[in-house]
Amino acid sequence: MHSDGYAGFGALARAGPVREVACLAHVRRKFFDVHAAQGSAIAAEALERIAALYAIEKEARGQSPERRAAIRQARAAPRLDEFERWLQSQLPKISAKTPLAAAIRHALTRLKRLRPYLEHGFLEIDNNPAERAMRPIALGRKNYLFMGSASGSKAAAIAYTLIETARLNDADPQAWLAQVLDRIPDYKINRVDELLPWNTAPAADREADD
């Protein structure tokens, strides 16, 4: 589960079997804010080191999960190791109460949880796609303010999840939902996973009652 560090998500991971994966974009954001406010040379170097990790990720994009993992292990892992060592060496040099020190402590905590992305090519380096998917919900809250009831909130959450999952898998939400609603009444319960957005095209070529 990609996480921005919200404590509630950490509790889910501790309860198991969820494994938390940190988001490098949130680590970067704290250094960006410090650099923007103070022009810190240490924050600037942290941003450069993070940019190097993203550059490797850009080259690996579009490759198979196995190939992405191999690239990350060979090139990103050493840079991440060095980044952590460098952060540890910088922390004693600055006041513990500064925003920069807080950014470094946050990074050292989160980078340990980022490491699963090095091993698994299907994971991303950050959870920006999920953040973008949540943006319409955050904007919508300001417009409609209330859901009316707890059940209404749950229904809206389900609808948003279906729509944004379709978009993340390059499926047109309206077309996908129309297809699913048309097919699901006669679909076998042990095959409904074929109607998920990433399986829609293969499933559409088969009869529901095979």
- Looking at the fold, whether 112 and 153 belong to one and the same domain comes out as no
Q: What pLDDT tens digit does each residue of the chain (210 aa) get?
A: 777 766 666 666 666 677 788 899 999 999 999 999 999 999 999 999 999 999 999 999 889 999 999 999 999 999 999 999 999 999 999 999 999 999 999 999 999 999 999 999 999 999 887 777 777 777 777 777 777 788 888 888 888 889 988 988 888 999 999 999 998 898 888 888 889 998 875 444 444 444
For the entire predicted model, the pTM comes to 0.72
Token pair recorded at residue 49? 């080191």
- Looking at the fold, whether 107 and 190 belong to one and the same domain comes out as no
Q: What is the largest CA-CA distance in the chain?
A: 68
- Tally the domains of the chain: 2
Q: Is residue 137 part of a domain?
A: no
Which backbone phi and psi does 205 adopt, to 5 degrees? -85, -5
- Looking at the fold, whether 92 and 151 belong to one and the same domain comes out as no
- Note the pLDDT of residue 161: 87
Write out the H or E segment, with its range, that includes residue 21. Answer: strand 21-22
Using alpha carbons, list the distances in angstroms from residue 7 to 10, 20, 207: 5, 11, 45
Distance, in Å, from the CA atom of 62 to the CA atom of 37, rounded to the nearest integer, reads: 36
* Angle, vertex CA 19, rays to CA 75 and CA 55, nearest 5: 25
- Looking at the fold, whether 48 and 112 belong to one and the same domain comes out as yes
Pairing of strands 21-22, 2-3: parallel
Distance, in Å, from the CA atom of 28 to the CA atom of 153, rounded to the nearest integer, reads: 33
Q: Are residues 141 and 135 in contact, defined by beta-carbon separation less than 8 angstroms?
A: no
- Looking at the fold, whether 7 and 82 belong to one and the same domain comes out as yes
- Looking at the fold, whether 18 and 86 belong to one and the same domain comes out as yes
- Looking at the fold, whether 15 and 96 belong to one and the same domain comes out as yes
Distance, in Å, from the CA atom of 165 to the CA atom of 162, rounded to the nearest integer, reads: 5
Distance, in Å, from the CA atom of 206 to the CA atom of 15, rounded to the nearest integer, reads: 40
- Note the pLDDT of residue 199: 85
- Looking at the fold, whether 155 and 104 belong to one and the same domain comes out as no
- Looking at the fold, whether 93 and 173 belong to one and the same domain comes out as no
- The HSE-up count of residue 191 (CA atoms within 13 Å, CB side) is 16
**Identity of the residue numbered 157:** A
Give the domain range for residue 154. 146-204
